[in-house]
Structure 1
Amino acid sequence: MLLALLLPAAPTSLTGTTIRINSAALSYVSDVGKAPLQQALKVMVPPFLDQSGDVHLPIRIQILDVHVPHLDLKFIAGFGIHLMATANFTIKVFCIPEALELMMPVALTADARVAQGPIRTPVVSISSCSSNFSPASVLGDNNSTSPELLILVQKHIRAILSNKLCLYISNLVQGLNVHLGTLIGLSPVGPESQIRYSMVGEPIITGEYIALDVNADLFLLGQPITLTLDATPFVLPWPVGTRGTMATMGLSQQLFDCILLLLQKAGALNLDVTGELVTRQFPKPMPIVLKVHLGATPVVTFHTNNATLRLQPFVEVLAASSNSAFQSLFSLEVEVNLSLQLSVSKVKLRGTTSVLGDIRLAVAASNVGFIDVEQVHALVGTLFKKPLLAHLNALLGMGIALPSVVNLNYINPEVFVYEGYVVVSSGLFYQR
């Protein structure tokens, strides 16, 4: 709750992102979750008071090790996740005359509800939990302990563990919730701009996946920007992407439109280009500067297996005067279409561009009379196109953070372009 108060407020808007965690991800979580579960189940067992003799002696009990050979997770449609696990407890009983080691198997089951938390992140809570104990077996060849005492010791251990195991599982889940809370962290988009993701409603849970509808809040200089968005909600079809993958993420065209608008507002797409100009009007080489400013928001378009980006920059051509100041010669309205290739690295969506077709331009204004558009076109081709692509690809190569939590990366990702949206199919890797 404190974190929610510290974060800058943002207007609610639907930028159209859906994350599906599929059944394959549960198998991965089952594998990586065994070690934390084993650690969580190492509970303290108080001494057992032996009342069989004349003197009541406390018998110290220690859990030496917990091994979880089996952990299985399944989706419960409309609710959350069902957990089934088996754990083998190695227990040392410091009785007289000789210490005793026991192996006690336990079967654990629990149902966990997955919901939207107060700070718009996923929250997991244990709704029901039970433990079923099997008879303990004595390790080694110790036969000095009386069967009656062994029965009483097991009864004591079961009473303690049955009260504590579910509590410790619940504590483990609370630690998971802290980790899931990092979804709402701010990530840089470009200079002086950030993006923050958060859930916009309760998760949708089926027997195949859990789906989170996620909104992107955009910030410029620490302040939220207000976006005019299409009210039509983004719906990710099922199935889509790579079959059997751990995570499937749908990114609507509206999300890309908003990010490009943010970059434009931040001035990240503007650039200055220096060079020399040789034309009929300026027979002597002279230093010039091309100031490229994007007055219009870039337009991204997605068709099946094809992504394009249209830029309409305003280019002002300036030349150095005798006092080393720059004076405006003329200005151009330019339109250029780019092919956009998308890829994912760790938790970032990256892009590279290349020019499609010819660059179209028109003279917007001139302070030097008539401008030969054909000669200017050659100028644009040599001084404008290459620096523009280098600048744009450097910016897009930095990557836009995708929804993620700390220490969790996307691996072996595949990017698919569909009509009006992009899908990322990926494995998941948790880095401790």
Structure 2
Amino acid sequence: MAGTCELGLLLALLLPVVSASLPGTMVRLNKAALNYVSEIGKAPLGRALQVTVPNFLDRSGEAHQSTRIQILDVHVPRLHLKFIAGFGIHMSATANFTVQVFCVPKPLEMVLPVVLLADARVAQASIGTPEVSISTCFSLFSPVTVLDVSNSTSPSLLLLVRKHIQAVLSNKLCLRISSLVQGLNIHLGTLIGLNPVGPESQIRYSVTHLPTITSDYISLDVSAVLFLLNKPILLPGDATPFLLPWPVGTGAMATVVLSQHMFDSVFLLLQKAGSLNMDITGQLNSEDNLLTTSALGWLIPEVASQFPEPMPVVLKVQLGATPAASLHTNNATLQLQPFVDVLAVSSNSAFQTLFSMDVLVNLSLQLFVSKTKLRGTTSVLGDVQISVAASNVGSIDMDQVHILMGSVFEKPLLDHLNALLDMGIALPSVVNLRYINPEVSICEGYVVISSGLSYQH
């Protein structure tokens, strides 16, 4: 992974940057991805080419004779796609049409091989998705192979039927390919759908520029916008712009680059949604419950004086400052600065503030990909720093309280935060597409995800 990050820094110096601040996300698909599409695309292409051939009307005799023709099967043994630099994709395919001709006295079956050639332009649609359109398309026909050599159909009729079939296919095959591409565009349109992040928050991706296409890959600049209650989450105006380097070539089908801006936006969303706020309580009847006034009373005499009988204590955790994520080579960290009110339940069931604390927690952030989501988990780095912000119970010996608060605060905070991060953030994808065998590399100011792809019907 270190080599990936170092190469990325080198490319950042040698190659032009693609954006500042936004889009903050880039997706690159290489030849391996195109080869995968070629393999899984054979069956859909074969189905798309299953056209209807009208009856052949033989006008050579005195009485016109109609011959029914049916395509029994279309097998695509070869489909090859390659990038056309600055334009799009070239397609070449071989399709074998098994055709039944209902001749008299005996039906005839034959195989007609066809080579299909097409060029497709890849552009940016007005709705913010990639858009594919066929610019040129034509078909080349090979001689037919009659499956039953004993069939007595006259060669002249066979020639006329073959010409009839070729004329029909010449008109219809490219139309079917164009129709297949239109269906692909509808599928690509699912890239811009809203994906939930939490109960009232979503993320939406869209392509912001024309794709960059070389003979080796296609790159898409992608904007990621997060919404809370249908309103976009925007970073403050003084946020430092991030220059996104050209994604590194790892050999994986797909490379996804996520900038610092993306992570800043995600944690700003979690803060504004209140997802990071929490209440920490203990079981009053539990023997090892430290969240009681009696436990605090051993350390703070005024608490013992005000609460002679054990009462529950609640830690009300609120995050005023936005969590700060830092991305460095092979190292991601997260800093939280929660404000904690220590409350006790009085005899009349009302909450009474005992004291308040400023807390500083540094966390190690581990990232991984599952299906189409970037997920994470955290662990505490060093000591949790605690200081008294205000007190209604006189002076407090923080050395003693620090030990107690650290033990009751740290685990619930980690459990809560890890549950949030495990929900994950949807990565750029379309319906039924999954990332497989992904590798996550942490680099200076950005994250690289290198992955294979799997399309599940």
Task: Find the aligned partners of 2:240 and 2:96 in 1 and give their Cα distance.
Answer: 54
Displaced runs of 4 or more, over 6 A = none
* 1:164-190 alpha-carbon deviations (Å, 9 max, x no partner): 000000000111111110011111112
Q: Which structure has more strand as a fraction of its residues?
A: 1
Query: Could you tell me which residue of structure 2 aligns to residue 60 of structure 1?
Result: 68
Mark the runs of 5 or more structure 2 residues left unpaired by the alignment: 1-19, 282-290
Whether 1:397 and 2:422 are equivalent positions in the alignment is yes
Distance change >3 Å, CA 353–CA 88, structure 1 → 2: same
Letter in 2 for 1:252: S
Distance change >3 Å, CA 401–CA 45, structure 1 → 2: same
In the TM superposition, 1:155-174 aligns within 5 A as: 155-174=163-182
Task: Find the aligned partners of 2:243 and 2:189 in 1 and give their Cα distance.
Answer: 24
Query: Could you tell me which residue of structure 2 aligns to residue 388 of structure 1?
Result: 413
Mark the runs of 5 or more structure 1 residues left unpaired by the alignment: 1-11
Counterpart of 2:160 in 1: which secondary structure?
helix
Letter in 1 for 2:184: L
Query: Could you tell me which residue of structure 2 aligns to residue 244 of structure 1?
Result: 251
Whether 1:359 and 2:419 are equivalent positions in the alignment is no
The answer on whether the counterparts of 1:75 and 1:209 sit within 8 Å (CA) in structure 2 is yes
The answer on whether the counterparts of 1:13 and 1:217 sit within 8 Å (CA) in structure 2 is no
Query: Could you tell me which residue of structure 2 aligns to residue 293 of structure 1?
Result: 318
* 1:146-202 alpha-carbon deviations (Å, 9 max, x no partner): 111111111111111011000000000111111110011111112311111111111
Equivalent of 2:199 in 171, 187, 191: 191
Letter in 2 for 1:180: L
The answer on whether the counterparts of 1:18 and 1:236 sit within 8 Å (CA) in structure 2 is no
Query: Could you tell me which residue of structure 2 aligns to residue 6 of structure 1?
Result: none
Query: Could you tell me which residue of structure 1 aligns to residue 135 of structure 2?
Result: 127
Equivalent of 1:280 in 289, 300, 310: 300
Query: Could you tell me which residue of structure 2 aligns to residue 9 of structure 1?
Result: none
Whether 1:179 and 2:187 are equivalent positions in the alignment is yes
The answer on whether the counterparts of 2:23 and 2:221 sit within 8 Å (CA) in structure 1 is no
Task: Find the aligned partners of 1:13 and 1:257 in 2 and give their Cα distance.
Answer: 11
* 1:339-392 alpha-carbon deviations (Å, 9 max, x no partner): 000000000111000000011121111122212111221122111100000000
Query: Could you tell me which residue of structure 2 aligns to residue 268 of structure 1?
Result: 275
Equivalent of 2:444 in 410, 419, 426: 419
Query: Could you tell me which residue of structure 2 aligns to residue 207 of structure 1?
Result: 215
Counterpart of 1:357 in 2: which secondary structure?
coil
The answer on whether the counterparts of 1:116 and 1:202 sit within 8 Å (CA) in structure 2 is yes
Task: Find the aligned partners of 1:199 and 1:16 in 2 and give their Cα distance.
Answer: 11
Q: CA deviation at 1:292?
A: 0.6
Task: Find the aligned partners of 1:355 and 1:404 in 2 and give their Cα distance.
Answer: 32
Equivalent of 2:55 in 31, 44, 47: 47
In the TM superposition, 1:129-148 aligns within 5 A as: 129-148=137-156
Letter in 2 for 1:123: E
Letter in 1 for 2:322: T
The answer on whether the counterparts of 1:293 and 1:313 sit within 8 Å (CA) in structure 2 is yes
Counterpart of 2:347 in 1: which secondary structure?
coil
Q: CA deviation at 1:88?
A: 0.5
Whether 1:325 and 2:350 are equivalent positions in the alignment is yes
Query: Could you tell me which residue of structure 2 aligns to residue 304 of structure 1?
Result: 329
Counterpart of 2:396 in 1: which secondary structure?
coil
The answer on whether the counterparts of 1:84 and 1:108 sit within 8 Å (CA) in structure 2 is yes
The answer on whether the counterparts of 1:191 and 1:266 sit within 8 Å (CA) in structure 2 is no
Query: Could you tell me which residue of structure 2 aligns to residue 316 of structure 1?
Result: 341
The answer on whether the counterparts of 1:13 and 1:215 sit within 8 Å (CA) in structure 2 is no
Task: Find the aligned partners of 1:58 and 1:372 in 2 and give their Cα distance.
Answer: 103
Whether 1:80 and 2:92 are equivalent positions in the alignment is no
The answer on whether the counterparts of 1:290 and 1:315 sit within 8 Å (CA) in structure 2 is yes
Whether 1:28 and 2:36 are equivalent positions in the alignment is yes
Query: Could you tell me which residue of structure 2 aligns to residue 8 of structure 1?
Result: none
Q: CA deviation at 1:15?
A: 4.4
Counterpart of 2:22 in 1: which secondary structure?
coil
Q: How many residues align?
A: 419
Question: Alignment identity in percent?
Answer: 67
* 1:73-94 alpha-carbon deviations (Å, 9 max, x no partner): 1011111111010000000111
Q: CA deviation at 1:269?
A: 0.5
* 1:19-56 alpha-carbon deviations (Å, 9 max, x no partner): 00111011111111000000000001111111222211
Counterpart of 1:379 in 2: which secondary structure?
helix
Task: Find the aligned partners of 2:156 and 2:450 in 1 and give their Cα distance.
Answer: 59
Equivalent of 2:368 in 343, 358, 362: 343
Q: CA deviation at 1:224?
A: 2.2
Q: CA deviation at 1:232?
A: 3.8
* 1:226-273 alpha-carbon deviations (Å, 9 max, x no partner): 333657454233434xx3211000000110000000000000001000
Letter in 1 for 2:251: G
Whether 1:101 and 2:121 are equivalent positions in the alignment is no
Letter in 1 for 2:172: K
Counterpart of 1:118 in 2: which secondary structure?
coil
Counterpart of 2:112 in 1: which secondary structure?
strand
- Normalised to the residue count of structure 1, the TM-score between the two structures is 0.94
The answer on whether the counterparts of 1:78 and 1:205 sit within 8 Å (CA) in structure 2 is yes
Letter in 2 for 1:221: L
Task: Find the aligned partners of 1:291 and 1:235 in 2 and give their Cα distance.
Answer: 39
Task: Find the aligned partners of 1:425 and 1:106 in 2 and give their Cα distance.
Answer: 37
